[in-house]
Amino acid sequence: MHTIEPFYNWEKHYKAEEDLRSPFFGRQYAAQYESTIYGYYIHPQWDYIGSETLYIKILFVDYTKKIAIIELFGEWNDTLHNDIMHLKRAVLDRLMRYDINQFILIGENVFNFHGSDDCYYEEWFEDVEEDGWIAAVNFRNFVQEEWKKYRIDYYVNFGGELEVLNWRTLKPIRLYEQVHNYIMRRLGAPSSIQDID
């Protein structure tokens, strides 16, 4: 687990620790391994959100376009640790204060999911307002199946064209455009984005 690090090729576009509005502004990253999940050390670049098992990295935020791209790592455990509450209160609420209402969660490194009730997902869904959305990209199939059992698919878009296997080769705005257009097609709305750059 210690060899899995957050994606860093977008750092020329955005660094959460240099963003005054980020919940991680001013954070300095240690060179040594300190944090653990179930006794296994994890890479020091992952950010702690209050959960024992779920860590994140904010890869990109654009306040003008109202978007945030967040990579997740570990086990998403709402049953024991209420991880969605930690994510919502420590990160999402902070970003939504600055009108972020389109969220892309990247979940290749989420290795398990344990559900509970859906109240925080419902709250998040209501908070993003009419023109916002929540998309989950590249979560494992068994995680998506568990989400369906807990009705999270009512609030979070996942599956289908949201399996963007080549996302690391894209610029952040291009990933956003691809995800946005797919969600707009799902909703039956016009899908093209004008003046994206």
Using a pLDDT cut of 90, give the percent of the chain over it: 82
Say yes or no to pLDDT of 68 above 50: yes
Give the pLDDT band (50/70/90) at residue 195. Answer: very low
> Pseudo-torsion of CA 100, 55, 115, 85, nearest 10°?
-50
User: In 3D, which of 59, 131, 121, 40 has the Cα closest to residue 85?
Assistant: 121
pTM of the complete model beyond 0.85? yes
Q: Could you tell me the residue ranges of all domains in the chain?
A: 16-187
- Region 28-56: mean pLDDT is 92
Instruction: Please indicate whether residue 146 or residue 196 has the higher confidence score (pLDDT).
Output: 146
List Cβ neighbours of 183 (8 Å cut-off, separation of 6 or more).
133, 135, 157
Q: Report the distance separating Cα 71 and Cα 82, nearest Å.
A: 18
Instruction: Report the CATH superfamily, name and number, of domain 16-187.
Output: STAS domain (3.30.750.24)
pLDDT score of 31? 85
Q: Report the distance separating Cα 17 and Cα 28, nearest Å.
A: 8
Give the pLDDT band (50/70/90) at residue 196. Answer: very low
Q: Is 110 helix (H, G, I), strand (E, B) or coil?
A: strand
Q: Report the distance separating Cα 162 and Cα 179, nearest Å.
A: 7
Buried b (16+ CB within 10 A) or exposed e, 2-32: eeeebbeebeeebbbeebeebbbeeeeeeee
User: Which residue's structure tokens are 């490194």?
Assistant: 109
The DSSP H or E segment spanning 20 is none
- Region 106-132: mean pLDDT is 94
User: Which residue's structure tokens are 């959460």?
Assistant: 16
Which tens digit of pLDDT belongs to each residue from 46-58?
999 999 999 999 9
pLDDT score of 197? 45
User: In 3D, which of 73, 69, 74 has the Cα closest to residue 58?
Assistant: 69
The DSSP H or E segment spanning 48 is strand 47-48
pLDDT score of 43? 93
Output the CA torsion sign for 7, 8, 10, 14. Answer: positive
Using a pLDDT cut of 70, give the percent of the chain over it: 95
pLDDT score of 2? 77
Which tens digit of pLDDT belongs to each residue from 6-18?
999 999 999 999 9
Give the pLDDT band (50/70/90) at residue 30. Answer: confident
